[in-house]
Amino acid sequence: MKRLDNKVAIVTGASKGIGAGIAKAFGAEGAAVVVNYARDHEGAERVVREITGKGGRAIAVQGDVAQRSDAQRLVAEAKKAFSRPDVLVNNAGVFSFAPFEQFSEQEFHRQFNTNVLGMFLSEACQNVAKHRKHGAIYNGLIVEGVS
């Protein structure tokens, strides 16, 4: 038996980088994984194939975490596929390097909405908290609930 057998994990921003690594690690430990992505469908499908190719369970779900309706759908898809979410890893984030004078108000809002508001407003957070009996919500390095 693996440590996360019978658990369901939603990992936001999981189509590449750290999020993909987290999703694969959860899958390797037995969790069913919801691989969230905003734009990189192909990357998300690669992560799903890697998890399922090793005998795990995973689905890819598109959604922008800064949009309440997308976050609601993310949780709904997790419930539809795997009955309930146990763990949410808020990994999605954006950043662009630019000199201060080239940093636009639009870019500020894009980064703030994804990196901060997305977690603060996250229906995913609220819904995962409502639907889990034992689990956790991870926001970067802040653990909000572990039982």
Task: Please indicate, yes or no, if residue 61 is contained in any of the structural domains.
Answer: yes
Whether residue 124 is predicted with pLDDT greater than 70 in this model: the reply is no
Task: Please indicate, yes or no, if residue 112 is contained in any of the structural domains.
Answer: yes
Segment 2-16, tens digit of pLDDT? 999 999 999 999 999
9: how many CB neighbours lie within 10 A of its CB?
29
Q: Which two tokens stand for residue 123?
A: 């229906």
Task: Please indicate, yes or no, if residue 55 is contained in any of the structural domains.
Answer: yes
What is the structure's pLDDT at 125? Answer: 57
Q: Which domain holds residue 38?
A: 8-143
Task: Please indicate, yes or no, if residue 2 is contained in any of the structural domains.
Answer: no
Task: Please indicate, yes or no, if residue 138 is contained in any of the structural domains.
Answer: yes
Q: Which two tokens stand for residue 54?
A: 């090793």
Q: CA-based angle 33:39:43, to the nearest 5? A: 55
What is the structure's pLDDT at 97? Answer: 83
| CATH (domain of 65) | 3.40.50.720
List, in order, residues 6 or more apart from 65 with CB less than 8 Å away. Answer: 12, 13, 36, 38, 71, 74, 90, 92, 114, 118, 119, 122, 124
List, in order, residues 6 or more apart from 73 with CB less than 8 Å away. Answer: 61, 63
What is the structure's pLDDT at 141? Answer: 33
Determine which of 50-54, 60-64, 114-118, 127-131 has the lowest per-residue pLDDT on average: 127-131
- Domain count for the chain: 1
Task: Please indicate, yes or no, if residue 3 is contained in any of the structural domains.
Answer: no
* Of residues 139 and 3, more confidently modeled: 3
Segment 38-55, tens digit of pLDDT? 999 999 999 999 999 999
Task: Please indicate, yes or no, if residue 131 is contained in any of the structural domains.
Answer: yes
Task: Please indicate, yes or no, if residue 1 is contained in any of the structural domains.
Answer: no
Q: In the sheet where 136-139 sits, what is the strand order?
A: 58-62, 32-37, 8-11, 87-90, 136-139, 142-143
